[in-house]
Chain A
Amino acid sequence: MELAAAVVGQARPGEGMEVYVTRGTDNEVRAYDGAIESLTSADSAGVGIRVVLDGPDGEGSRLGFAWAGSLDPDVVQAALGDARDNARYATPDPDVVLAEPDGFAPVEQDLWDDGVITTPLEDKIALALELERATRGADRRVRQVSSADYSDGRVEVALASTTGIRSTARRTTAFLSVDAIAGEGADSQTGTGFSVGRSPTSLDPDEAKDDAVLRATRLLGAQKARSGRCTVVFDPRVVSTLLSVVASALSGEAVVKGRSFFAGRVGETVANAAVTLTDDPTDSRAFSASAYDGEGLACRRNVLISDGVLRMFVYDTVSARRAQTRSTGSAVRGGFSGTPSAGCRALVLSPGQMGADDILEMVGDGLYVQSVTGMHSGVNPVSGDFSVGAEGLMIRGGSLAEPVREVTVASSLQRMLQSIVGIGADLRWLPGVAAGQTLAIADMQLSGD
């Protein structure tokens, strides 16, 4: 914070400035075949500086940005000069302003666990080695564990601006993951499992192992399925990914720039009446929970869709002004080298009453999807077109049946939201911007043979 405030102190009269500083440490252990394959440790730090200058003739303001992967004074000073120079070239715009304190009190959260620091490296190494060993021994069909990783990180963030923003935050994360390969005859299938927490002691290696082994082994013998329309039940991990795509269409920035299929639909029914979707970074159970957003405003709970009706979008300061509203405390930024933009941090689809098994029983016949591929190539958050590669199991008579691979499931995001027929009670907090639970969506096109 001292550094951020010191740089802001250099602002010239009439010059707006925001300085974002991060400092962190990461460790990663990869185990393979009973040994440590790699051990990485690293400290990193960086600064991102935004400068806002008045445009000529009062036609608005101009913004320039520069970043540096170092906190050395000469490098920071050079970045400040670059940011000032960059601002001279932007188009003057009355909506370009820095965030101002808006009176919302931050919900302080405990996202830091000293366990990341106090746990000896030997114990962290042992976690990865043990996960690898246990996964290899969990099932005779596991013929390979291509990697078992332990990683942790701690990061401290400070933000200061000429508009009076001063925010600091810190968080720790710990992560275990394992990739299992199951084999039977010439057939091989893969499964990934993981466990996340704020310290090594909060991780559950069995959760990671069991998930990886189950996913890999139950796909053995998978075949293509016959093309047709059916109800698709998505696994919680897939649902988390799905919601992160819906999130990009709920960004106020995408909306004001005409790049969201939700644009102009506030107040309309956009989803099944059972759907309530909330972005709530103040819930510390969320992996990406945060007290402050990427502009230093307090994060808050925003209900985006309730009872199937679109209520609002998430905004940062600039997109909010363009939409003639106020920031919802939803600025996100990709570290010190990125500028803030409007986005969701912690989406939660309100859980329903049914467990995963109840949903399978209700669906009767359909496809259960345990993982998808091509989310970046086959899903378009502007048009809403949706087409992804899928693997999983057929659902027959309300139970999981034979495994399926090399198929796609397709629809449009608009239609999928309307066709939600079952929302699980089995909410899981997952890494990324959204939690997930079992979800059933009717009338999707399955493409196979």
Chain B
Amino acid sequence: MLSEDEQGTTITIPPVTDTSLIDPGVLANVLSAALAHGGDMAEVFAEDSTSASAMLDDRRVEELSSGRSRGAGIRVVAGETTGFAHTSDLSEKGLLAAASAAASVARDGGGTARTVAMQLGPLAAHDRGDRTLPGSVSKSVKLDLLVRADEAARAAGGSISQVQVGCGDSRRRILIANSDGLLAEDDQVRTRFSVVCVANGDTGMQTGHESLARTEGYEIFERHNVEDIARTAAQRALAKLSARPAPSGEVPIVLAGGSGGILFHEACGHGLEADHILKDASVYTGKMGELVASPLVTLVDDGTVLGEWGNFAVDDEGRAPARNVLIENGVLTDYMWDWLRAHKEGRASSGNGRRQSYKHLPMVRMTNTYLLAGRENADEIVAQTPTGVYVSKLGGGQVNTTTGDFVFGTTEAYLIEDGHLTVPLRDANLIGNGPEVLRRIDAVADDFDMTPGTCGKDGQSVPVGCGQATLRITGVTLGGTA
């Protein structure tokens, strides 16, 4: 909880249209200039983002940082070609210069110039309630959170030798206008808190990590206790001090609910992005309507889940997010689409067009990707697993969409012997092939939970959510040393 006297004022955000980043008249001029040589579509993406972070490390508040980034990216699509230019100058002059640079791709296209009339459409309904904006929270309140977490982590055990606590927030206002007459805005506030602990023992050092990240303001700390986050991180590091090397070879794996739905993010999420599909660079190309996973698997990508890390009111192409069912009872039902790939296929975007900043072109990205919960009991699943490995926390992962081969790392795992968790295991990567692993899921429990993550693709990072309930995979290769 935030203390009473220093608690930030809760502000109801005024309608963002009152503070448009660019005047609609200017937008129309810029879009017309962008299509001066022809082209199928022109788009202005303007962004004004502020961010702040504070880091406590080695018992000291080492660094408070704040930043501001403001600019616009202009895209012109002419046939198969996209021209893109960005500028930090939001004046009409600056925008026209960028539009001219982006339009150069259409120069030889033989197209005809078009004028664009902007029509302000109704904003998508997206009630976020009252948010405590980062800018309204005093720095000493943020530092108090760090100090409390540091103390809680160190109190968790004498072997905790180092604690690093970070708190960060961002407010990202975006405006998207395109030559189809679309005009959309969003005001995205994100807040994150993370703790990394090092424990030092006879067998060397081990690390433990836990984080909280929400597309919300500082009101999240009224519901989440930073001491709990710190203790979880500390206990992960402490548990691993007695860890044994992980087994090597194929073993049954039980993934804890909310351990990091990264499994689905890597095993099939990326492979269901339409840019990979259209280039025949995904193992899921041409598999629509086929059984690609165990019938227990219903996978959804859903940007509408309020407050989750991959949530927004409009995507970075101005489209409202949707709940898209990708795999239903094991059958592939849809891919994820941005404007460009949907346009090529003559269909609508699924609200998955995202970009890191105004300096980047949008592409197909996941939002919150999760497996629907099943009906079994999580403890029963473990009890019915004679031998295997129980993974209570996953780290990152990586996939080759063309082959479907993917890895994901464990950061907290235990051996399962006779249906019981026994010794903790050192960190290792798991490796598998997406379609194969998805077929090997033979149990899904009812204890669904989500975790935040940062997804990197083609050099761009965006916040995403991942979710799943406890589940068992009958065999995955674990890359340990034992």
Interface residues, chain A, with chain B CB atoms under 8 Å away:
32-33, 35-45, 63-70, 72, 75, 78-79, 82-83, 85-87, 89-91, 93, 143-144, 146, 181, 188-190, 224, 227, 256-259, 261, 337, 339, 373-374, 376-378, 380, 382-385, 387-389, 391, 405-412, 445-449
Q: In the assembled complex, which residues on chain B have CB atoms less than 8 Å from the CB atom of A257?
A: 57-58, 162
Does B428 have its Cβ within 8 Å of any Cβ on chain A? Answer: yes
Question: Which 3 A-B pairs have CB atoms at the shortest separation, nearest pair first?
Answer: A408-B479, A377-B409, A378-B429
Q: What's the nearest-Cβ distance from chain B to residue A97, in Å? A: 13
List, sorted by A's number, 28 A–B pairs whose CB atoms are closer than 8 Å.
A35-B80, A37-B81, A41-B85, A42-B86, A68-B69, A69-B67, A70-B88, A75-B70, A79-B66, A79-B68, A89-B61, A90-B61, A339-B65, A374-B397, A378-B428, A387-B409, A387-B479, A388-B407, A389-B398, A389-B407, A406-B431, A406-B433, A408-B429, A410-B429, A412-B481, A445-B248, A446-B248, A449-B477
Tell me the residues in window 375-421 of chain B with beta carbons closer than 8 Å to chain A beta carbons.
395-400, 402-403, 405-409
* B280 A144 Cβ-Cβ under 8 A: yes
Chain B residues near A391: list those with CB within 8 A. 405
Q: Which residues of B contact A86 (CB under 8 A)?
A: 64-66, 139
Residue of B81, B248, B428, B432 touching A39 (CB-CB under 8 A): B81
Does B431 contact A407, Cβ atoms closer than 8 Å? yes
Q: How far is A224 from B213 in the complex, measured between Cα atoms in Å?
A: 38
Within 8 A of A (CB), among B242-262: 246, 248-250
Most buried by A among B61, B79, B280, B407: B407
State whether A89 and B68 are in contact (beta carbons under 8 Å apart), knowing that A258-B200, A385-B426, A405-B403 are contacts in the complex: no
Whose C-beta in chain A lies nearest to the C-beta of B429? Answer: A378
Name the interface residues of B185-213: CB closer than 8 Å to any CB of A.
198, 200, 204-207
Chain A residues with CB below 8 A from B104, complex form: 39
A90-B63, A447-B480 are known contacts. Are A378 and B427 too (CB-CB below 8 A)? yes
A286 to nearest B CB, angstroms? 22
- Say yes or no: A181 contacts B402, CB within 8 Å: yes
B406 — which chain A residues lie within 8 A by C-beta? 373, 389
Determine which of A44, A90, A382 lies in contact with B207 in the assembled complex, contact meaning CB atoms within 8 Å: A382
Is A447 a contact of B395 with CB atoms below 8 Å? no
B174 touches A (CB below 8 Å): no
Besides the known contacts A63-B62, A408-B428, 16 further A-B residue pairs in the complex with CB atoms under 8 A apart: A36-B81, A41-B84, A42-B359, A69-B67, A89-B54, A143-B280, A144-B279, A189-B403, A258-B198, A258-B205, A374-B431, A376-B395, A385-B426, A387-B480, A408-B479, A410-B428
- Docked-complex contact B83 and A90, CB < 8 angstroms: no
A68 touches B81 (CB 8 A): no
Least CB separation from A144: chain B residue: B280
- A64 and B477 CA atoms in complex are apart in Å by 47
Across the interface, A42 reaches (CB within 8 A) one of B85, B428, B481, namely B85
Q: Which residue of the partner chain, among A43, A89, A93, A406, contacts B477 with CB atoms under 8 Å?
A: A406
Given contacts A69-B70, A259-B162, A382-B207, contact A91 B61 (CB under 8 A): yes
Contacts of A35 in B (CB 8 A): 79-81
Is residue B461 contacting chain A, with contact meaning CB distance below 8 A?
Answer: no
B66's partner among A82, A190, A258, A446 (CB-CB below 8 A) is: A82
Q: Which of B68, B139, B408, B428 has a CB less than 8 Å from the CB of A75?
A: B68
Beyond A35-B80, A75-B68, A378-B409, whether A387 also contacts B428 by CB under 8 A is: yes
Decide: B398 and A373 in contact? CB cutoff 8 A: yes
Digitize B430-454: 1 where CB-to-A-CB distance is under 8 Å, 0 elsewhere: 0111000000000000000000000
B405 touches A406 (CB 8 A): yes
- Residue in A32, A66, A89, A410 whose beta carbon sits within 8 Å of that of B143 in the complex: A89
State whether A227 touches B65 (Cβ < 8 A). no
Instruction: Name which residue of chain A comes closest to B279, CB basis.
Output: A146
Pick from B61, B84, B248, B409: contact of A40, CB below 8 A: B84
Chain B residues engaging chain A, CB cutoff 8 angstroms: 54, 57-71, 79-88, 101, 104-105, 139-140, 143, 161-162, 198, 200, 204-207, 240, 246, 248-250, 276, 279-281, 283, 359, 361, 395-400, 402-403, 405-409, 426-429, 431-433, 477-481
> Which residue of the partner chain A has the closest CB to B143?
A89
**From residue A303, how far is it (CB to closest CB) to chain B in Å?**
26
CA distance A391 to B71 in the complex (A): 42
Q: Tell me the bound Cα distance from A251 to B204 in angstroms.
A: 18
Is the CB–CB distance between A445 and B480 below 8 Å?
A: yes
Q: Which single member of B69, B79, B140, B396 contacts A89 (CB below 8 Å)?
A: B140
Q: Are A374's CB and B429's CB within 8 A? A: yes
Tell me the nearest residue of chain A to B409, going by C-beta: A377
B83 near A32 with CB under 8 A, answer no
Instruction: Tell me whether B478 and A258 are in contact (CB under 8 A).
Output: no
- Taking a contact as CB atoms under 8 Å apart, the answer to whether B248 and A45 are in contact is no
| Residue pair A445, B481 in contact (C-beta under 8 Å) | yes
Contacts of A337 in B (CB 8 A): 67
**Pair B407/A384 contact, Cβ less than 8 Å:** no
CB < 8 Å A-B pair total = 254
Nearest A residue (CB) for B427: A385
A75 to B432, CA, bound (A): 49
Say yes or no: A32 contacts B82, CB within 8 Å: no
Residues of B within 8 A of A82 (CB): 66
Q: In the complex, A409→B431 CA distance in Å?
A: 11
- Given the complex, which residues of B lie within 8 Å of A41, measured CB to CB? 84-85, 101
User: Is chain A's interface secondary structure helix, strand, loop, or mixed overall?
Assistant: strand
Which of B67, B85, B479 has the most A CB atoms < 10 Å from its CB? Answer: B479
Contact in complex: A385, B428 (CB < 8 Å):
yes
Contact check, A377 vs B398: say whether CB atoms are below 8 A apart.
Answer: yes
- The residues of A that contact B396 with a CB separation of less than 8 Å are 374, 376-377
Per the bound structure, the CA–CA distance linking A82 and B57 in Å amounts to 21
- Among A43, A143, A387, A391, chain B packs the most CB atoms within 10 A around the CB of A387
Closest chain-A Cβ to B337's Cβ sits at a distance in Å of: 17
Q: Write out the residue numbers on chain B whose beta carbons fall within 8 Å of the beta carbon of A38.
A: 81-84, 361
Q: A38-B83, A86-B139, A377-B407 are in contact. Are A190 and B402 (CB under 8 A)?
A: yes
Is A448 a contact of B249 with CB atoms below 8 Å?
Answer: yes
Residue of B nearest to A444 (CB): B481
Q: Are B409 and A69 closer than 8 Å at their CB atoms?
A: no
**Chain B positions within 8 Å of A68 at CB level:** 67-69
Asked if A410 and B248 make an inter-chain contact with CB atoms under 8 angstroms apart, the answer reads yes
Question: Could you say which residues of chain A place their CB within 8 Å of the CB of B83?
Answer: 38-40
Chain A residues closer than 8 Å to B428, beta-carbon distance: 378, 385, 387, 408, 410
Considering the chains assembled together, what is the distance between the CA atoms of A78 and B143 in angstroms?
22
* Alpha-carbon separation in the docked complex, A448 to B251 (Å): 11
Quote the shortest CB–CB distance from A378 to chain B (angstroms).
3
Smallest Cβ-Cβ distance to A446: which chain B residue: B248
Specify which chain B residues have a CB less than 8 angstroms from the CB of A85 in the assembled complex. 139
Smallest CB gap from A257: residue in B: B58
Q: Which residues of the partner chain A approach B105 to less than 8 Å between Cβ atoms?
A: 36, 39
Q: Please, which residues of chain A bring their CB within 8 A of the CB of B57?
A: 257
Q: Are B405 and A377 in contact (CB under 8 A)?
A: no
Query: Bound complex: CA of A261 vs CA of B161, how far in Å?
Result: 13
Tell me which residues across on chain B come within 8 A of A83, comparing CB atoms: 66
Measured between beta carbons, the chain A residues less than 8 angstroms from B143 are: 89
Q: Closest Cβ of chain A: how far from B454's Cβ, in Å? A: 11
> Are the C-beta atoms of B249 and A227 separated by less than 8 Å?
yes
Contact B477 A181 (CB under 8 A): no
User: In the docked arrangement, what's the CA distance between A68 and B65, Å?
Assistant: 11
Measured in the bound complex, the distance between the Cα atoms of B477 and A446 in whole Å is 11
Q: How far apart are the CA atoms of A445 and B395 in the complex, in Å?
A: 21
- Write out the residue numbers on chain B whose beta carbons fall within 8 Å of the beta carbon of A65: 63-66
B63 touches A188 (CB 8 A): no
Cα distance, A39 to B250, chains bound together (Å): 45
* Chain A residue with the shortest CB-CB distance to B60: A91
Contact A408 B82 (CB under 8 A): no
Q: What residue of chain B has the Cβ atom nearest to residue A374's Cβ?
A: B407
Asked if B205 and A66 make an inter-chain contact with CB atoms under 8 angstroms apart, the answer reads no
